[in-house]
Amino acid sequence: MLEILKRDGLARTCRFETAHGVLETPALLPVINPRNITIEPRELRERFGFQALITNSYIIRNHDELRERALKQGLHAMLDFDGIVMTDSGTFQSHMYGEVEVRNEDIVAFQRDIGTDIGTVLDIFTEPDWGLERTREAVRVTLERTEQAAALKQDMKLAGVVQGSIFPELRTECARALSALPVDVFPIGGVVPLMETYRFADLVDVIVASKKGLAPDRPVHLFGAGHPMVFALAILLGCDMFDSASYAKFARDGRMMFPEGTKHLADMRGLDCECPACRDHTLESLNALPEEERSKVLAAHNLFVSQREIKVAKHAMLEGELWELVERRCRAHPALIDALRRLKEHRDFLERYEPLSRDGAFFYTGPESMWRPAAHRYQKRYFERYQQPSNKVCVAFDEGERPYGRVYAGTMAEISKVADAHFMVMSPFGPVPIELDEMYPLAQSVFPKAMDLETQARSKELMERFSHGQEYGICLLYDGQQTIDTLATLDGSPSSFDIDLARVKAVADYQFGKGAATLLLDGKVGLVKSKNNDRIRNVLVDGEHILSMRAPDGFFTLRPAGARRLRKGFPSPRLRVIVHVDSVEFNRAGKNVFCQFVQDCDPDLVPMDEVMVVDEEDELVAIGRALLVKEEMCALRKGLAVKVREGVGV
- Interface region with a copy of itself, contact rule CB under 8 A, candidates 21-29, 358-366, 419-427, 536-544: 358-366
342 lines the binding site for a copy of itself (CB under 8 A): yes
- In the chain the first and final C-alpha atoms are separated, in Å, by 35
Nearer to a copy of itself, 101 or 274 (CB): 274
Least distance in angstroms from the C-beta of 343 to a copy of itself: 11
* Contacting a copy of itself within 490-549 (CB under 8 A): none
Centroid of chain to Cα 274: 29
Least distance in angstroms from the C-beta of 195 to a copy of itself: 16
State the helix-helix crossing angle for 496-512 and 373-385, rounded to 10 degrees: 110
Buried b (16+ CB within 10 A) or exposed e, 293-313: ebbbbbbbbbbbbbbbbbebb
Q: Which of 318, 418, 525, 561 binds a copy of itself (CB under 8 A)?
A: 318
Nearer to a copy of itself, 421 or 442 (CB): 442
- Which whole-number Å values give the CA distances from 631 to 222, 595, 605, 640, in the listed order? 21, 11, 10, 14
80 lines the binding site for a copy of itself (CB under 8 A): no
In sequence order, which residues have a C-beta less than 8 Å from that of residue 34 and are 6 or more positions away?
55, 56, 59, 60, 63, 66, 79
Nearer to a copy of itself, 62 or 456 (CB): 456
Nearer to a copy of itself, 1 or 337 (CB): 337
Q: Which of 65, 97, 99, 446 binds a copy of itself (CB under 8 A)?
A: 446
DSSP state letters, 443-454: SSEE--SS--HH
In sequence order, which residues have a C-beta less than 8 Å from that of residue 627 and are 6 or more positions away?
4, 7, 607, 608, 640, 641, 642, 643
196 lines the binding site for a copy of itself (CB under 8 A): no
448 lines the binding site for a copy of itself (CB under 8 A): yes
- Interface region with a copy of itself, contact rule CB under 8 A, candidates 41-49, 271-279, 509-517, 564-572: 271-279
129 lines the binding site for a copy of itself (CB under 8 A): no
Spatial strand order of the sheet with 544-549 comes to 525-529, 536-541, 544-549, 556-558
| Sequence-ordered alpha helix ranges (H) in 153-199 | 168-179, 192-196
Is 253 in the active site? no
Q: Which of 79, 275, 439, 598 binds a copy of itself (CB under 8 A)?
A: 275
Nearer to a copy of itself, 360 or 515 (CB): 360
- Which whole-number Å values give the CA distances from 644 to 127, 515, 553, 574, in the listed order? 48, 25, 19, 17
Least distance in angstroms from the C-beta of 353 to a copy of itself: 20
Least distance in angstroms from the C-beta of 128 to a copy of itself: 16
User: What are the E-state strand segments in 51-151?
Assistant: 52-56, 84-88, 118-120
Cis amide prior to 552 (ω within 30 degrees): no
Q: Which of 21, 128, 366, 515 binds a copy of itself (CB under 8 A)?
A: 366
281 lines the binding site for a copy of itself (CB under 8 A): no
Element (H, E) at 640: strand 640-647
User: Cα separation of 428 and 462, whole Å?
Assistant: 9
17 lines the binding site for a copy of itself (CB under 8 A): no
272 lines the binding site for a copy of itself (CB under 8 A): yes
Determine which one of 8, 64, 88, 602 is catalytic: 88
457 lines the binding site for a copy of itself (CB under 8 A): yes
430 lines the binding site for a copy of itself (CB under 8 A): no
Q: How many residues does the chain have?
A: 650
Least distance in angstroms from the C-beta of 398 to a copy of itself: 13
- How many CA atoms lie within 13 Å of 49's alpha carbon, on the beta-carbon side? 8
Binding site for a copy of itself (CB under 8 A): 201, 260, 267-272, 274-276, 279, 308, 311-312, 314-315, 318-319, 324, 327-328, 331-335, 337-338, 341-342, 359, 363-367, 446-450, 452-454, 457
Catalytic residues: 88
